[in-house]
Structure 1
Amino acid sequence: MESFKNIEQSQVTISELMLPSHTNFSGKIHGGYILSLMDQIAFACASKHSGNYCVTASVDTVDFLRPIEVGELVEMKASVNFVGRTSMVVGIRVESEDIHSGIIKHCNSSYFTMVAKDKNGDSVPVPGLILKNEKQMRRFLKSLNRQEMKKKHRAASSAKHEINNEDLEILKNSHKVQLKY
């Protein structure tokens, strides 16, 4: 019998105070550090949902919307938005709070595709999702749409593209390139 879980059963939230050791050369919190935390929470959320070890298969669109400062409290919220046969899309929202003023800013949102693995490293089926409201249905459908777009993109990227005169004109006139061939 196939199992299903409520989205709330696998949601994870983490908070961490940003320290000077987390900064980049401009004194802001390093984006790579934030990505590492996002990968950790995606792993926790997906593993909690699947009951198995999970690996990151892909990361979709990471837009750093606002810088994070030293001394701010970063909160990350992760939720399974979509499940396939062995994969899950985990949505992550990153917010930071200035603990002196209480001002909260949305810094990042991203989607991690995670795959459940058994002890031998083979992919294993994951439980389905119980969708209880319009917001959950919308997130599931948006993730399904992103998955379909990724499949189309992979297919288009793997097809050989022959350069024609129209392509050459686009390169010469529309982009900051020099053609030397």
Structure 2
Amino acid sequence: MPGTERQLTLRFLAEPNDVNFGGKVHGGAAMKWIDLAAYGCAAAWSGKYCITAYVGGMRFVRPILVGNMVEVEAKVIYTGRTSMHLGIQVRAGDPTSDQKHLTTHCVAIMVAVDDEGNPVPVPEWKPTDEKDIIMRDSAIRLMQMREKIGNEMSAHLS
């Protein structure tokens, strides 16, 4: 039922084909996993097909090793009329241990669309505790900063 599944966690092992030239998991693999988790979370929340509108603030904190158990958590932290802002955290560690360390984090914005690709409304998410309010307020501030950055980036268009 739309508007009830706010969080999604993907769990899997990092595979040898995910390795970069340095022997660690490629950043592009982590970005793909982030996009998959963001889509799954947004689609569950909205009950609609969703497209990625933005992924930003990506921080690669620590490498992921082949054979690590990877957990990619996506959580709705703000909803607009047709968009959902998701906080994403990637954690990894030895699969024989329950301890995972933060490896990557970012914010993704997904937009719900209809069969013609037009944006459609999503259920509103309302924070229920102090931590949720902090995340929502941060998402709003980031949205305001992105507008300024977008204006500045237009100078780089030819």
TM-score (norm 2): 0.91
- Residues 154-173 of structure 1: per-residue CA shift (max 9 Å, x gap): 2233369xxxxxxxxxxxxx
Q: What is the rounded CA distance, in whole Å, between the counterparts of 2:7 and 2:150 in structure 1? A: 30
Q: Is 1:111 equivalent to 2:104 in the alignment?
A: no
Q: What is the rounded CA distance, in whole Å, between the counterparts of 2:154 and 2:90 in structure 1? A: 33
Q: Is 1:62 equivalent to 2:58 in the alignment?
A: yes
Letter matched to residue 79 of structure 2: V
Q: What is the rounded CA distance, in whole Å, between the counterparts of 1:32 and 1:159 in structure 2? A: 27
Gaps of 5+ in 2: none
- Secondary structure class of the residue paired with 1:143: helix
Letter matched to residue 90 of structure 2: V
Structure whose CA Rg is larger: 1
Q: What is the rounded CA distance, in whole Å, between the counterparts of 1:19 and 1:155 in structure 2? A: 40
> What's the counterpart of residue 119 of structure 2?
123
Q: List, as ranges, runs of 4+ consecutive aligned residues in structure 1 with deviation greater than 6 Å.
A: none
| Paired residues, number | 155
- Residues 122-153 of structure 1: per-residue CA shift (max 9 Å, x gap): 00111101211001111000000000111122
CA RMSD of aligned residues (A): 1.7
> What's the counterpart of residue 80 of structure 1?
76
Q: Kindly state the Cα deviation for residue 101 of structure 1 after the two structures are TM-superposed.
A: 5.3
Kindly report which structure 2 residues correspond to 1:97-108, keeping only aligned pairs within 5 A, or say none: 97-100=93-96, 102-108=98-104
Q: Is 1:36 equivalent to 2:32 in the alignment?
A: yes
Letter matched to residue 63 of structure 1: R
- Residues 38-72 of structure 1: per-residue CA shift (max 9 Å, x gap): 10010010111111100001111111110111111
Q: What is the rounded CA distance, in whole Å, between the counterparts of 2:103 and 2:3 in structure 1? A: 29
Question: Could you tell me which of 42, 47, 50 is aligned with 1:51?
Answer: 47
> What's the counterpart of residue 10 of structure 2?
14
Percent identity of the aligned residues? 37
TM-score (norm 1): 0.80
- Residues 90-131 of structure 1: per-residue CA shift (max 9 Å, x gap): 111110011245542110111111111001110011110121
Q: Kindly state the Cα deviation for residue 10 of structure 1 after the two structures are TM-superposed.
A: 2.5
Q: Kindly state the Cα deviation for residue 19 of structure 1 after the two structures are TM-superposed.
A: 1.5
Gaps of 5+ in 1: 161-181
